[in-house]
Amino acid sequence: MTPILLAPQSQVQVTASPDNAEVEFLLKDYQETLYLIAVNSKDERKTITFSFLESPTAVKVLNESRTIFPQGNSFTDDFAGYGVHVYEIQR
């Protein structure tokens, strides 16, 4: 994870909804791949949708052995209380 965390902040625009979701996230560009690091800042389950201007083709959830297939320009995932997910986003 160190090279990803040290990589530049991505210029790609991403939003999280609902607006009151209280999720913190960071989007990084590393070796022509986007990495979205997202954290639920509350001790309650949440379902969060991340939306992009460009449609991602697939979203691999690192260290969880699963892939999310986006719907159009967004994808949705569930977060446990204080849950963290790291997404590798294919464009």
pLDDT per residue as tens digits for the range 31-71: 989 999 999 999 999 999 999 999 999 999 999 999 999 99
> Is residue 21 very low, low, confident or very high in pLDDT (cuts 50, 70, 90)?
confident
* The CATH number fitting domain 2-90, selected from 3.40.50.300, 1.20.1540.10, 2.60.40.1730, 2.60.40.1180: 2.60.40.1180
| Beta pairing class for 23-30 and 33-40 | antiparallel
Q: How far apart are CA 41 and CA 57, in angstroms?
A: 27
pLDDT score of 8 more than 90? yes
Ordered by start, the domain boundaries in the chain are: 2-90
CB 9 within 8 A of CB 28: yes
CB 71 within 8 A of CB 58: no
> pTM of the entire structure?
0.94
| Phi, psi for residue 27 in degrees, rounded to 5 | -115, 125
pLDDT at 83: 97
pLDDT score of 19 more than 90? no
